[in-house]
Amino acid sequence: MEQKSNKLFYHLLALVVVAFWGTTFISTKILLGNGLTPSVIFAIRFTMAYLGIWILCMKKKQTRKLLSNNITDELIFIILGITGGSMYFYTENTALALTQACNVSFIVCCAPLLTVLLTLWAKRIPRFRQSNSLEDVKLNIWIILGTILALSGMALMIFNGYKFEISPKGDILAFLAALCWSIYSMFMVHHSIKYGVLFATRKVFFWGLTTILPFALNEIGYIDTNAFAQREVIYNLLFLGIVASLACFVLWNKVMEKLGNVTSTNYVYLNPIFTLIGSILILHEQVTPIAAIGSALILVGVILSGKR
User: Which of 172, 171, 201 has the alpha carbon at shortest distance from 189?
Assistant: 201
Mean pLDDT per 10-residue section of the chain, whose length is 308 residues: 71 90 81 86 91 86 80 92 91 73 68 78 67 66 79 70 61 85 85 86 93 90 85 93 90 86 78 74 70 74 66
User: Which of 81, 43, 34, 69 has the alpha carbon at shortest distance from 216?
Assistant: 43
Residue spans of alpha helices (H) in the chain: 2-33, 38-57, 61-64, 71-81, 87-98, 101-108, 111-122, 141-159, 168-195, 197-219, 231-238, 248-259, 261-265, 271-281, 289-305
- What is the pTM assigned to this prediction? 0.78
pLDDT at position 261 is 74
Q: What domain count does the chain have?
A: 1
Q: What angle do CA 77, 38, 160 make, to 5 degrees?
A: 105
pLDDT at position 203 is 93
pLDDT at position 80 is 93
Handedness of CA 97, 100, 102, 107 (dihedral sign): negative
Report CA 131 to chain centroid distance, whole Å. 21
> How far, in Å, CA of 143 to CA of 101, rounded?
26
Range of the domain at 300: 2-305
pLDDT at position 207 is 95
